[in-house]
Homo-oligomer: A and B are copies of this chain.
Amino acid sequence: QTEAPEFGKGLLNIVGKDSTWSMKLATRMQFLTSTTWDQNSNNKWVDPHSIALVRRARFKFDGFAYSPKLTYKIELGLSNRDMSGASEYTSNAPRYILDAVVMWNFYQNFELWIGQTKLPGNIDRVISSGNLQQVDRSLLNSRFTLDRETGLQIRHHFFLHNKFLIREKFAISQGEGRNVTNGNIGGAQFTGRLELLPFGEFTNGGEYKGGDLVHEEMPKLMLSATYDHNKDAVKTRSNQGTYMVNDIGFHKTDINTLFFDTMFKYRGFSFMGEYAHRNAKDPIAKNADGSLTGDIVQIGDGINLQSGYLFRKNWEVSGRYTNISLDEDITGNRPENQYTLGLSKYIVGHKLKIQTDLSYLSVNGGTDELMYRLQFDIHF
């Protein structure tokens, strides 16, 4: 049968005849306006650059098929920003499919995932873009994220002791990002992630949601680490960034990415912390004769610390500090510090909300930048 749930819980919940399958349909939109200013030599904010757009618009389908042990998820991106990134590597077609993955609970606490979906990477990325605490993810994410891949994942969890939950996630992927159609160019990518939840799962999966909207009665904590090895990677940010084309094809090198991250929530207070480190065997792309192509693997470190408190009537104030320290000798990029102050009004949780934030970006010896953003979210 077909059921229309309450606002924010999906458009339709369909259960097939004889309960042979189910599907939940959902959709969401984000409307963003943003203005940035550069700081000139007189410490004045100048050259405002503004933008207003449908930032994200998504359809999501999930449920089970044939057996409750066989579940699936499809997520489609409709906005121009969602679909951007068409290239010769994606058949010059828009990257419309975000997730298309089948998950099979083949044995006890083990799940096998097949298809395209997010890798078990840094927590800020794995949190859905509809459940963020601030308008958008941090600079750490844009520099270090592993985003989505096509391949296999094995996921397992068990209880170490009482409530102490441990999750293990492993992935083997192509290593060049999502929606690639021309095949694997470099080697494969291997990802492992370990999650420790000493006080058990957060309420309603809150370990992967921004802000403590449910006012956790008891302290909840997740400590996690991801290690990713991209063998013979051909892009400047492991499986992200640009292809390192050279005169004989591609510059290939092993790239490793490490994340430590944590989420803590208690009575409206939330804290999220991330540390990222990337290195590469040979970060400077070369042609066959050793001459440089100009591409550089973006190696270095990043820190992102974010915290918020949910006041009455679902107003939340949040702060974020992000430091990006790429290897200056290799990449030529100077250290950046960004400070963000955010304000959110959750009308119906993350499903209907208005978020605004102000960011100050300080670039060592470079041009500082101020950014103001206002975003409206609606999710069915």
1/0 per residue, CB under 8 A from B, across A83-96: the answer is 11110001111111
The number of times this chain is found in the oligomer is: 3
Contact yes or no, A97 B54, CB < 8 A: yes
Closest to A188 in B: B50
By size class, the interface of chain A is 35 or more
Q: Is A1 an interface residue (CB 8 A)?
A: yes
Knowing that A6-B17, A80-B95 are A-B contacts, what are 7 other residue pairs whose CB atoms are under 8 Å apart, sorted by A's residue number? A50-B184, A53-B116, A79-B97, A80-B91, A81-B181, A82-B93, A83-B94
Contact yes or no, A14 B11, CB < 8 A: yes
Q: Is A51 an interface residue (CB 8 A)?
A: yes
B-binding residues in A (CB < 8 A): 1-7, 9, 11-12, 14-18, 20-21, 23, 27, 29, 31, 34, 49-54, 57, 61, 65-66, 72, 74, 76, 78-86, 90-97, 100, 102, 114-116, 150-151, 174, 179-184, 347-348, 352, 376, 378, 380
Closest 4 CB pairs of A and B: A84-B91, A51-B183, A7-B20, A83-B93
* Bound: A352/B80 CA distance, A: 32
Contact yes or no, A21 B380, CB < 8 A: yes
> Could you jot down 10 A-B contacts, CB within 8 Å?
A27-B74, A29-B100, A49-B184, A52-B184, A65-B380, A80-B93, A80-B95, A80-B97, A81-B181, A114-B376
With a cutoff of 8 Å between Cβ atoms, the chain B residues found around residue A91 in the complex are 80-81, 83-85
Q: A4-B15, A31-B114, A116-B54 are in contact. Are A78 and B76 (CB under 8 A)?
A: yes
Contact yes or no, B5 A2, CB < 8 A: no
With a cutoff of 8 Å between Cβ atoms, the chain B residues found around residue A66 in the complex are 7, 347-348, 352
Closest to A63 in B: B380
* Bound: A378/B49 CA distance, A: 43
Partner of A51, one of B18, B31, B184: B184
* Bound: A1/B23 CA distance, A: 16
Contact yes or no, B54 A115, CB < 8 A: yes
* Bound: A150/B50 CA distance, A: 12
Contact yes or no, A352 B65, CB < 8 A: yes
* Bound: A76/B59 CA distance, A: 12
Contact yes or no, B100 A92, CB < 8 A: no
Closest to A29 in B: B100
Partner of A74, one of B17, B57, B182, B376: B57
With a cutoff of 8 Å between Cβ atoms, the chain B residues found around residue A16 in the complex are 4-7
Contact yes or no, A17 B5, CB < 8 A: yes
Measured CB to CB, the closest approach of chain B to A105, in angstroms, equals 15
Measured CB to CB, the closest approach of chain B to A21, in angstroms, equals 4
* Bound: A210/B22 CA distance, A: 27
Measured CB to CB, the closest approach of chain B to A53, in angstroms, equals 6
* Bound: A28/B100 CA distance, A: 10
Contact yes or no, A86 B78, CB < 8 A: no
